Structure 1
Amino acid sequence: MDNQLEIENYRIGKTEAWAGNIEDHELLERIRESEFAKHQIDQGKDFCYFLDKKYRSDNTENSEYVCMAYTLNEPANLERASVSDIIVEENEIYHIHRISVVRDGVLIDKIPDTKIKVLDSESQSSGGILSSNKKINITIKDLRLNDILIMEDSRVKEFTERDFLRKEFAKYVWVSPDSYWAYGNYTFTFINDRQQRIACKKTFFRDEAGNVLDPEIHYLNKGEAFVFKLENYINPVDASREIFPYIDFATDSSWKELSNYIAPIYGEISGQASLQDFAPNVVEKLDAITDQEEKIRFAIEYVQNNIYYIFNANEMNGHKPQEPAVTYENKQGDCKAKSVLLKVILDYIGVDSSIVLVNFHTDFYIKYYLPSLLTFNHAIVKINHKGEEYFIDATVRDEFGLLENRGFIYFMHYLEVKPDQELKQRKPYRYPYFCIDEKVDFNVQDKTGKLVLTTTYKGNRANAMRRYFKNTNKREVIDSWNNFLFYSLNYSGDRNGTDVRNIFTDAAIEMVSDDRKLNEFTVQYKASVHNPYYTDPKGNRFLMYFDRNVIKSGARDFIHKDLPFWHNFDSEKYEINLYTDQKIDTEEKYTTQESTIHNPYFDFSSRKKVTKNGATVNIECKPLVNLEIPQEAFEKFRADHHTIADSNFGLGIDIIEPGFMNMLKYSFKMKFK
């Protein structure tokens, strides 16, 4: 190991001074068979004797070091250890310091048995996702069950001139170890070698009873380190119901300071641009449109559909936005570039707009994180128009409609790229329209039913359904509706396993209309149904239609100690008409049952009209969305959804079978009801 082996993306050699140096005899001393280790191994689990992890940050690079020793007692773990992939970013070097095994008490160097290949980590370029990442494939031959594998490596990410954010600001999140592993000794160290002070915040740690503790914040000056140790440790977190404890490290800043740092950068790039100079064709088209709403629509759809979205994973965090003239000329750019171009166009037509920074994937955590620009991974545009706020993602495609009819983006936290800004939280939202407006007509004559579904989708639903019909085979679309109706009509209860194509004969579906200004997409499904009644084991016949999409199983089944329920249901309206040439029980409890629910987070109603040969139900659900439902309010929310599930999500009618005895039975039933 005295000689460094240098390759473009990886190197084999000794550790740097900041990581320390462990001699072979020290490794063997640390691999001790304790009662804790023996208990874990006896249970058939793999055991990590020690894991030392260090993260170092300065103004020129970020470095991470890991040294660990763990058992290979499980075949699956042996397989993963034998062949592994390491992903390195642009200008990042992976350093291998030691690959060894302890076998029968003897330390064996496995670097001579290691084969390393460097591959491009590129699989989505055709979708506009570019990455300069490399995949380092490591194959270690002759690993054996019951070996103890020792891996010591590090990675160093050197900042380029483009990495201006990473040079100025540090951001790192340590997450508690995986709950599968048992650790004899676990040590994590964060080293601050930056000029600026770094804050570290411990969040979602728990006391012995499992209760979440209040966050702790510490500060590290240059040269100081934060050390976190665990011994004989198994992570007790229930991953399905609890959030893993984590420690957030970030350069000590306030949101206002960060907004004042980033706003001039965006302002300089967008402010110097003249749309008339670099995009006269766009200006000409805008000037020809007399209606302001149509101008806004044109601006959004031009950038979304005419500027190709290129996402460079290495450039999103830490790089200045591209100049709008370049974006227009090249007809491509990332989210920052497309958002800036859209803002410049909106500025030209006199619409108040701004760039906002978001992270849809970690939106819940942003309110807990320390302030940092590196928290965000996406840029979108906020439009203030006629007293309302609208958020537009310039990177999406195939979205339509005037501003108030466009798709709604679900997220809560954002930082506006303006001076003196704090982290903002969006207001809850109530749809001014029904995302789904469906009419179901099912008429049965003799032994055949005629089924017609007419559905109008709006907003996000219209965009999604338009894309679905555009990209999906017609037969597949029809089968999708058939399968849905197979359950809605309860045929799964008396003819499960039957080919749905033999139930819904002559099935057809067509697009009725596509209004791209209102962003309304209407389709109609038609089919004939032989043997249209559901028949129970006693021979009783029913005509039923229950739409299980209405009952929101996600709300009814939700259980989590830390995460509040994120409410993002669509507004819905259904008219279900079931009619037959048979006499029905007009007084049956569930046929006549109606419901009205006024919950703080949604209004629900089902209203019915029953005749001697059928019934109609009108169902409406109007939710208040884009919010977290507090835990103290959730049980009432859940209970109200249970009420919906109690036969209030559709309609069922009971057939009175012809014949004297059946009529007598019905009369007896009515008399003693």
Structure 2
Amino acid sequence: MQKNLNLLLFVLFSVVITNFSIDKAYAFTPIVHLSPKPSWILPSKRYNQPPSARDVNNGAYDELIEEQVNVEQKATYNHIITQIVSQSGVQNNSDISVSFNPAYERLDFHEITVWRNNKPQSRLNVGEFKVLPDESEIEKFIYNGTYSAKYILSDIRKGDRLEYSYTITGFNPVFDNKFCRSIYLQGANRIEHQYTTLLFAAGRKLNLKSFNLRSQPKISVSAGIKRFEWEDFKVPGISTNKIQPDWFNQYARVQVSEFGSWKEVVNWGLKTNPLQTTFKGELADTIAKLKRQSGGDQAKYFRAAVTLVQDGIRYMGIETGPYSHKANMPENVFKQRYGDCKDKSLLLASILNANGIEAHLALINTDLEDKVESFMPSPILFNHAVVVAAVNGEKVWADATMANQGGKGTDLYFPPYREGLILSAGNTGLTKINETKTGSINCVENFDVHDEFTPVKLSVVTTYTRDEADDTRDHIATTGIAQTEKNYLDYYSKTFSKIEAGDSLIIKDNRAKNELTTIESYKIRDFFKHDAVSGKYTADFYADFVRHQLPDVDGEVHTPVLVNYPYNLDYTIHVFMAGGWDNITDEKYELNRSTYKFATDKKVKGDDLALHYQFTYLNDYVPLDKLPEFKQDIKDLKDDQLSYSFYYIPDIKKLPFKLNRIMFLLSIVVIILFAFLATKYYKTETREEIFANRVYSAPAIGGWLIVLLLVIFASAFRMTYHLVEDGYFGMSKWDLYTNGQKSLVYRLLLIFEMIGNVGLASFCCFCLLLIVKKRDIAPYFIKRLLLFSVLFIFCDYLLNAFFKAQLSNYDDEQIIQAVIMAAIWTYYLNISERVKSTFIVPYPH
């Protein structure tokens, strides 16, 4: 009997507990309520003038966007009318979604009406609502407790007008019944009729600040309620882009705040998030341990506390209800080993104060940065919390949400937040934050090229310092070494399809110095692209590290542009080629702007071709007035400065010969022209009196004239051999460059060199004839030959320098040698008696 009684009591107890649990669960399950429209709303007149067809986007337009806020009722009423004009409008406007936070807000729907042919169809049915968690910030490890009430409408057609209204009642209690929010009077889409009201007790002190207003509000007082009414028509939509700074806000809006000063915000923050001064349990033991290990060294204690909170407490925020701005108790955060920015910051500040280090929370806006000062005081302006501490008389800022930071003592990188509100008693204003020293990335890629067939060895040594070392260290710790290796290999495989890892990734981390180095090793097969016709083996390089930092700024962007600040890159590509480099000279290019700077240089030393790039951002955005310049610089860098190609031909002589008809025909024309000129000058009478029967007896050619004859003959032979041997008459040399302006310039240079060499060879042959015939005009033309030879060499030198940025066709010694030889032979021709006695035969004879 007793046993059965006990069993009965157990069952009854279980039922009671179960019912209690179910009731409790249902009490916290968000639901949608149905109710009439609130009686306090102000009436608005319908405006039914449709926009022109060109002003309709996505097949529909907003006929009315109405919002009425009653501060005293803690309620916000919304009324929306959307006119659907096409099938695409049906697709985009067949559902309703309203977000609310059930921890302190109640959602009441008043109507859902579909107007078809001016006849209303009520679609309001509470059973059709699906209330689902928003999870809009879950990827940031934040659960904010908001839900979306979703209503899927059936049978929506082109021409329908959708009208619905609802009220959200309740304000976040964390602000101690002080009202603060921003009211937007403009959106991304055009609004035909915009009507907004703000109602509050006439005796209540609300501060308002407007931004970009199109019209001023109507202000009135009735029954002790002060009313602000903003009404506008045909309000254009504001387009935004993904690369504009968050602080660049062109929407018409009004900031409302019941906080009269920054001091009030500070006092609210101190009350909401007080520092913990007494500790017990595991946290007390940990603080005692930190004190022992630091040995009275405050800087050492500070660093240990920062590392403990950053690396030992994972980032996770349960920001429901008042905990959107209220931190959890430090002991609880330490016990559960997770927390959001305010949880971790309050824990860190409390640990620091426990050892006599004055530390406070500071509120930050990571988007507005130093633009916070342009707004009225309000706690909702801030989206982040950090810590500021006085360590050995030095003010040090720390972000507790960062992880794996390096450095010693107070040498701690802090992001460029620029401005914050320190929650310390007596503080009355915002504090400027001096920027800490930023880090850099130094990347060196070494390509070891043996020949066109052997796989190329690539080694990559990248050194990160300060914030870059922090980010890389944290990324590797989060991603894992194996996945990091794969990511690095995938990066290079986008450029080199046949690349494979040569060795495991090596990581050298000097955390005390905050310097991290990674060493990668790869092998690349089919490094070159081979052109069987020209015999060229080509390789291309592109400074992707720089390109990834250049945003895509298209013609639709008319805003300041956000950039990745801070960023400082030093990037070098070394290509080691056995046998050295020909026809490449040093180059430099620099670009210095107020927001960024870029420099590149190309150098050759022995077997090493070095391509060096430097890129730095000096600010976090490019201002609007510099946007055209920025666009052009991006285009110039991508088109001309970041890419580099080289080619080499292992043995051009082994390529099948294909006659270049253009060069061959031009050479024939040059020879014919010189033959014509030579004949003309040869047959020109050179004496005033001609004695037809006179016999000119000239001595035999001897002495230095024999040497001169051999020099001219050798020159003619050398130039002819050079033209043939170097492929001037073959298509392989002609097609070394085949695209763009460079190809045209190169081919014009080849034509110039061919004409010069053919002309010089022809000129030499003419002078040889004059010497053999002992013509009296021989000295004159030999001296012209010497002058023409020097001028050609010098012009070819300059043209190579100008067109190809290369001076390597000739070196300085060759030019000097040619000038000296020409001067010596000219001097000899002018003073030699043998010359005067040998070249005496006139024309005709």
TM-score bracket, normalised by the shorter chain, equals: 0.7 to 0.9
Task: Give the structure 2 partner of residue 395 of structure 1.
Answer: 401
Hey, what's the Cα distance between the residues in 1 that align with 2:252 and 2:139? 36
2:74 matches 1:62? yes
SS in 1 for 2:582: coil
2:303–2:410 contact (8 Å) kept in structure 1: no
Hey, what's the Cα distance between the residues in 2 that align with 1:42 and 1:566? 33
1:301–1:400 contact (8 Å) kept in structure 2: no
Task: Give the structure 2 partner of residue 91 of structure 1.
Answer: 104
The structure, 1 or 2, with the larger RCO (C-alpha pairs under 8 Å, 6+ apart) is 1
1:40–1:46 contact (8 Å) kept in structure 2: no
Letter in 2 for 1:545: F
Question: 1:598 Cα shift?
Answer: 4.8
Q: Deviations over 1:584-627 (max 9, x none)?
A: 23435xxx2123455444555445441343322444445434x5
Q: Deviations over 1:146-186 (max 9, x none)?
A: 22111021111255xxx24151242223151332x452x22
1:71–1:147 contact (8 Å) kept in structure 2: yes
Task: Give the structure 2 partner of residue 235 of structure 1.
Answer: 236
1:197 pairs with one of 205, 211, 235 = 205
SS in 1 for 2:415: coil
Answer with 1 or 2: which has the greater Rg.
2
2:186–2:237 contact (8 Å) kept in structure 1: no
SS in 2 for 1:451: strand
Alignment of 1:25-44 (within 5 A): 30=46, 32=48, 34=49, 36-37=50-51, 39=53
Task: Give the structure 2 partner of residue 178 of structure 1.
Answer: 188
1:658 pairs with one of 651, 657, 673 = 651
Letter in 1 for 2:550: G
Alignment of 1:451-462 (within 5 A): 451-462=458-469
1:402–1:517 contact (8 Å) kept in structure 2: yes
Question: 1:200 Cα shift?
Answer: 2.5
Letter in 1 for 2:236: N
SS in 2 for 1:270: coil
Q: Deviations over 1:190-224 (max 9, x none)?
A: 223485322332223579xxxxxxxx899999722
2:362 matches 1:356? yes
Task: Give the structure 2 partner of residue 226 of structure 1.
Answer: 228
The 1:115–1:642 alpha-carbon spacing in structure 2 relative to 1, beyond 3 Å, is closer
Q: Deviations over 1:69-102 (max 9, x none)?
A: 2223444543454443322211211111111122
Unmatched 5+ residue regions in structure 1? 1-6, 208-215, 492-499
2:36 matches 1:14? yes
2:570–2:613 contact (8 Å) kept in structure 1: yes
Unmatched 5+ residue regions in structure 2? 1-28, 654-724, 734-745, 754-795, 801-845
Task: Give the structure 1 partner of residue 677 of structure 2.
Answer: none
The 1:328–1:338 alpha-carbon spacing in structure 2 relative to 1, beyond 3 Å, is same
Letter in 1 for 2:543: D
2:530 matches 1:524? no
2:601–2:613 contact (8 Å) kept in structure 1: yes
Letter in 2 for 1:96: F
Normalized per residue, the structure richer in strand is 1
2:617 matches 1:610? no
Task: Give the structure 1 partner of residue 65 of structure 2.
Answer: 51
Question: 1:568 Cα shift?
Answer: 0.4
Question: 1:354 Cα shift?
Answer: 2.7
1:187 pairs with one of 178, 195, 208 = 195
1:430–1:624 contact (8 Å) kept in structure 2: no
The 1:647–1:483 alpha-carbon spacing in structure 2 relative to 1, beyond 3 Å, is farther
Hey, what's the Cα distance between the residues in 2 that align with 1:422 and 1:352? 19
Question: 1:132 Cα shift?
Answer: 3.3
The 1:405–1:76 alpha-carbon spacing in structure 2 relative to 1, beyond 3 Å, is farther
1:405–1:519 contact (8 Å) kept in structure 2: no
The 1:76–1:277 alpha-carbon spacing in structure 2 relative to 1, beyond 3 Å, is same
Letter in 2 for 1:57: V
1:505 pairs with one of 500, 506, 513 = 500
Task: Give the structure 2 partner of residue 212 of structure 1.
Answer: none
Q: Deviations over 1:414-450 (max 9, x none)?
A: 212132332344445552x42x122211111122211
1:583–1:655 contact (8 Å) kept in structure 2: no
Letter in 2 for 1:557: V
1:556–1:642 contact (8 Å) kept in structure 2: no
2:412 matches 1:379? no
Q: Deviations over 1:371-401 (max 9, x none)?
A: 2112112211134557876543223444444
2:84–2:160 contact (8 Å) kept in structure 1: yes
Equivalent residue pairs, number: 625
2:362–2:421 contact (8 Å) kept in structure 1: yes
Letter in 2 for 1:111: L
The 1:294–1:648 alpha-carbon spacing in structure 2 relative to 1, beyond 3 Å, is farther
The 1:219–1:564 alpha-carbon spacing in structure 2 relative to 1, beyond 3 Å, is farther
Hey, what's the Cα distance between the residues in 1 that align with 2:471 and 2:220? 48
Hey, what's the Cα distance between the residues in 2 that align with 1:42 and 1:280? 66
2:311–2:404 contact (8 Å) kept in structure 1: yes
2:207–2:260 contact (8 Å) kept in structure 1: no
1:584–1:654 contact (8 Å) kept in structure 2: no
2:178 matches 1:168? yes
Hey, what's the Cα distance between the residues in 1 that align with 2:442 and 2:268? 44
The 1:227–1:122 alpha-carbon spacing in structure 2 relative to 1, beyond 3 Å, is same
Question: 1:516 Cα shift?
Answer: 3.0
SS in 1 for 2:377: coil
The 1:206–1:481 alpha-carbon spacing in structure 2 relative to 1, beyond 3 Å, is farther
Hey, what's the Cα distance between the residues in 2 that align with 1:176 and 1:347? 46
SS in 1 for 2:550: helix
Hey, what's the Cα distance between the residues in 2 that align with 1:438 and 1:126? 31
Task: Give the structure 1 partner of residue 117 of structure 2.
Answer: 104
The 1:9–1:239 alpha-carbon spacing in structure 2 relative to 1, beyond 3 Å, is same
2:439 matches 1:439? no
RMSD: 4.1
Hey, what's the Cα distance between the residues in 1 that align with 2:158 and 2:218? 43
SS in 2 for 1:305: helix
Letter in 1 for 2:464: Y
Question: 1:120 Cα shift?
Answer: 4.3
Task: Give the structure 1 partner of residue 284 of structure 2.
Answer: 279
Task: Give the structure 1 partner of residue 739 of structure 2.
Answer: none
Alignment of 1:139-150 (within 5 A): 139-150=152-163
Hey, what's the Cα distance between the residues in 2 that align with 1:443 and 1:198? 71
Q: Deviations over 1:280-329 (max 9, x none)?
A: 33222332234654432221121123335442333467754444344445
Hey, what's the Cα distance between the residues in 1 that align with 2:517 and 2:596? 25
Letter in 1 for 2:170: K
Question: 1:630 Cα shift?
Answer: 4.3
Task: Give the structure 2 partner of residue 249 of structure 1.
Answer: 255
Task: Give the structure 2 partner of residue 574 of structure 1.
Answer: 571
The 1:567–1:379 alpha-carbon spacing in structure 2 relative to 1, beyond 3 Å, is same
Letter in 2 for 1:197: K
Letter in 1 for 2:148: K
Hey, what's the Cα distance between the residues in 2 that align with 1:421 and 1:317? 25
The 1:411–1:124 alpha-carbon spacing in structure 2 relative to 1, beyond 3 Å, is closer
Hey, what's the Cα distance between the residues in 2 that align with 1:8 and 1:649? 56
1:83–1:138 contact (8 Å) kept in structure 2: yes
Hey, what's the Cα distance between the residues in 1 that align with 2:382 and 2:322? 9
The 1:613–1:254 alpha-carbon spacing in structure 2 relative to 1, beyond 3 Å, is same
The 1:425–1:574 alpha-carbon spacing in structure 2 relative to 1, beyond 3 Å, is same
Hey, what's the Cα distance between the residues in 2 that align with 1:581 and 1:333? 58
Q: 594-603 vs 62-71, which deviates more?
A: 594-603
1:200–1:218 contact (8 Å) kept in structure 2: no
Q: Deviations over 1:104-125 (max 9, x none)?
A: 2212222259612334445877
Hey, what's the Cα distance between the residues in 1 that align with 2:171 and 2:275? 29
TM-score (norm 1): 0.79
2:589 pairs with one of 584, 590, 595 = 595
SS in 2 for 1:100: strand
SS in 2 for 1:167: coil
Task: Give the structure 2 partner of residue 494 of structure 1.
Answer: none
Question: 1:570 Cα shift?
Answer: 1.6
1:359–1:377 contact (8 Å) kept in structure 2: yes
Task: Give the structure 2 partner of residue 549 of structure 1.
Answer: 545
Letter in 2 for 1:155: I
Hey, what's the Cα distance between the residues in 1 that align with 2:92 and 2:333? 43
